[in-house]
């Protein structure tokens, strides 16, 4: 691979695989935005993007993206600069993504719930030159937080704010999208290679803070193509973005970018809350959308209770992010009247899906199979042996759109990848003889709360700040609504007491995303330890199972 500006800290694909991916046509050496622009040129008057009353044709969408790109260049942003993006689902998010792709600026896709703890680290680790956030959202002052971060992270030069209350010295994102210029010369001749990084996604992260996942133009464009084909997207598709748009799933699997690739229409909605989502689906005649199992549960309950009949246009509901239990899977088509597509994916790359036309038993009982013939998967036992078909173990993968290493994470990469460079997913699976994968559990220190991934270690590090805590372990407690919640086990120093509230307050003071706060506390006399002296989380999970249901908010 040639040395490109982003190559520092990036692990490239081995040369032989890269050659193979090109020969097989997976990598086309196109830039993402050039591929997307073809849809715009095909039918410029077609509606590309809907956000409430805002309706943008393809021509208007790309005009705004160009305007923003020119204005970002004017601000001084250059190829390979990184910007931390934390925006709600809105048309500006889409315009910004396209503008960044156009000028080789790399968005770091933060999540709406992230707070100082996460954002400061992301800005620092990516050496971001700008932070792009709303002024105030859901009573939280994002602009103020961005100012705090700018003051402590030297690389951050610009705060670009969405909203009406923009402080002096900060830049108005709305104005940057609206100030057109006929002079697009600053967009010409930029040195962007298709092997360069197009976006940084965030890993769920099993150790401490989230890792940055570099996605190149070649790999991510291919990701769009294969997932769009697997979901049967075409120019008639109306795709609803209801999950946070910076997540790989609604962003690119196929998500809003995949919908543009085929010339469809994207509808942005700020929340998957059933009443709003159902109204949007019926108003815009949405055909495809993506949800996590916790949202599916809400939608099914809502439809059963209200009998809305609003989902007549919906053809495909993609469900992924965490395991969809078979009982819920079986209710999707009867209650919501659409096809179910299970999606077992990861921001790191590999996407598996069931396909339309699969037997019902496959759609309900499996998480599907890899979307690309270039995806390689294997199942490995505890001793590192590759198991024969049907064996239960950890899934390893490599392929044309699966990363070879996290960004600037040399030590972590040694553990997250096998010696031959395959990504160790940490998911415990069975691959059936027909190729479909069933996710049975996981072998990674992570809590999956309604699709949001929480690192056990990160929670523990924060709770260890409490001087009275002797030992702490964060584990998943099963939950009917969200799949899992965070439970912490603690042992205390002599004479110390603590409460769930106190530990939650401690984490709030550390300014972490609220979804990471523990919801159940178990105070115990003694932590179970493994032979090597580490806390035995398997024993803790068994202990939780023995205790039976514990309501969220409880201490026991």
| Residues found near ligand OOB in the complex (CB under 6 A) | 204, 248-249, 253, 320-323, 342-347, 351, 367, 425, 427, 439, 442, 451, 453
Q: Is the CB of 65 or the CB of 437 nearer to ligand OOB? A: 437
CB of 187 to ligand OOB, least distance (A): 31
Closest residue to ligand OOB, judged by C-beta, is 345
Q: Is the CB of 158 or the CB of 453 nearer to ligand OOB? A: 453
Rounded CA gap, 31 and 36, in Å?
Answer: 9
Element (H, E) at 345: strand 339-346
CB of 389 to ligand OOB, least distance (A): 20
Q: Is the CB of 220 or the CB of 249 nearer to ligand OOB? A: 249
User: 357-366 contacts: CB < 8 A, separation 24 or more?
Assistant: 362/434, 362/436, 363/329, 363/339, 364/326, 364/329, 364/330, 364/340, 365/326, 365/329, 365/438, 366/342, 366/432, 366/436, 366/437, 366/438
CB of 490 to ligand OOB, least distance (A): 26
Rounded CA gap, 35 and 21, in Å?
Answer: 18
Q: Is the CB of 320 or the CB of 370 nearer to ligand OOB? A: 320
Q: Is the CB of 82 or the CB of 323 nearer to ligand OOB? A: 323
CB of 249 to ligand OOB, least distance (A): 4
CB of 386 to ligand OOB, least distance (A): 19
**Angle (nearest 5°) at CA 493 between 490 and 498:** 55
CB neighbour burial string for 39-50, b if at least 16 within 10 angstroms, e if fewer: bbeeeeebbbbb
Q: Is the CB of 158 or the CB of 396 nearer to ligand OOB? A: 396
CB of 450 to ligand OOB, least distance (A): 11
Q: Is the CB of 227 or the CB of 237 nearer to ligand OOB? A: 227
Q: Give DSSP secondary structure letters for 465-518.
A: TSTTEEEEEEEEEEETTTEEEEEEEEEE-TT----HHHHHHHHHHTT--GGGS-
Rounded CA gap, 356 and 358, in Å?
Answer: 6
Rounded CA gap, 157 and 123, in Å?
Answer: 11
CB of 353 to ligand OOB, least distance (A): 9
Which among 142, 183, 177 is positioned nearest to 49, based on CA atoms? 177
């Amino acid at each position: 691979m040639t040395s490109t500006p982003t190559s520092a800290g990036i692990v490239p694909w081995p040369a032989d695989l890269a050659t193979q991916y090109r020969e097989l046509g997976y990598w086309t050496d196109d830039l993402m935005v050039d591929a997307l622009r073809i849809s715009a040129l095909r039918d410029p008057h077609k509606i590309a993007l809907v956000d409430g009353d805002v309706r943008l044709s393809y021509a208007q969408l790309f005009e705004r993206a160009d305007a923003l790109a020119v204005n970002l260049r004017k601000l001084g942003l250059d190829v390979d600069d990184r910007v931390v993006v934390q925006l709600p689902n809105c048309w500006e998010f889409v315009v910004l993504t396209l503008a960044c792709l156009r000028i080789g600026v790399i968005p770091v896709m933060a999540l709406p719930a992230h707070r100082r703890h996460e954002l400061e680290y992301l800005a620092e680790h990516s050496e971001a030159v700008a932070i792009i956030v709303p002024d105030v959202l859901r009573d939280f002052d994002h602009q103020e937080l961005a100012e705090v971060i700018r003051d402590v992270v030297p690389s951050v030069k610009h705060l670009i704010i969405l909203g009406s209350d923009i402080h002096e010295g900060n830049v108005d994102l709305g104005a940057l999208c609206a100030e057109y210029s006929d002079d697009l010369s600053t967009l010409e001749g930029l040195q962007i290679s298709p092997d360069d990084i197009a976006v940084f996604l965030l890993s769920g992260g099993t150790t401490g803070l989230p890792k940055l996942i570099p996605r190149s133009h070649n790999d991510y464009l291919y990701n769009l193509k294969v997932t769009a084909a697997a979901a049967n997207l075409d120019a008639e598709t109306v795709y609803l973005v209801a999950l946070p748009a910076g997540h790989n799933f609604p962003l690119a699997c196929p998500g809003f970018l995949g919908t543009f690739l085929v010339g469809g229409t994207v509808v942005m909605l700020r929340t998957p809350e059933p009443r709003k989502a159902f109204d949007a689906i019926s108003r815009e005649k949405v055909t495809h959308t993506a949800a996590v199992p916790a949202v599916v549960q809400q939608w099914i309950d809502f439809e059963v209770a209200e009998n809305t009949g609003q989902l007549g246009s919906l053809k495909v509901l993609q469900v992924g992010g965490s395991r969809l239990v078979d009982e819920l899977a079986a209710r999707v088509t009867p209650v919501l009247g659409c096809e179910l597509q299970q999606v077992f994916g990861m921001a790191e790359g590999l996407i598996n899906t069931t396909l339309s036309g699969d037997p019902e038993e496959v759609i309900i009982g499996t998480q599907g199979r890899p979307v690309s013939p270039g995806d390689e998967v294997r199942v490995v036992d505890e001793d590192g042996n590759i198991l024969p078909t049907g064996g239960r173990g950890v899934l390893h993968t490599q392929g044309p759109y699966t990363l070879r290493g996290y960004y600037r994470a040399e030590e972590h990469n040694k553990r997250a990848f096998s010696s031959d460079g395959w990504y160790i997913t940490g998911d415990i699976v069975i691959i059936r003889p027909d190729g479909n994968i069933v996710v049975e559990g996981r072998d990674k220190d992570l809590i999956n709360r309604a699709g949001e991934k929480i690192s056990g270690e990160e929670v523990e590090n924060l709770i260890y700040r409490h001087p009275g805590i002797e030992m702490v372990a964060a584990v998943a407690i099963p939950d009917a609504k969200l799949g899992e919640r965070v439970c912490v086990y603690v042992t205390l120093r002599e004479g110390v007491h603590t409460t769930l509230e106190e530990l939650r307050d401690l984490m709030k003071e550390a300014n972490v995303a609220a979804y990471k706060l523990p919801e159940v506390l178990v105070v115990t006399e003694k932590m179970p330890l493994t032979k090597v002296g580490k806390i035995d989380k398997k024993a803790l999970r068994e202990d939780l199972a023995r205790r039976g249901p514990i309501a969220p908010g409880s201490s026991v």
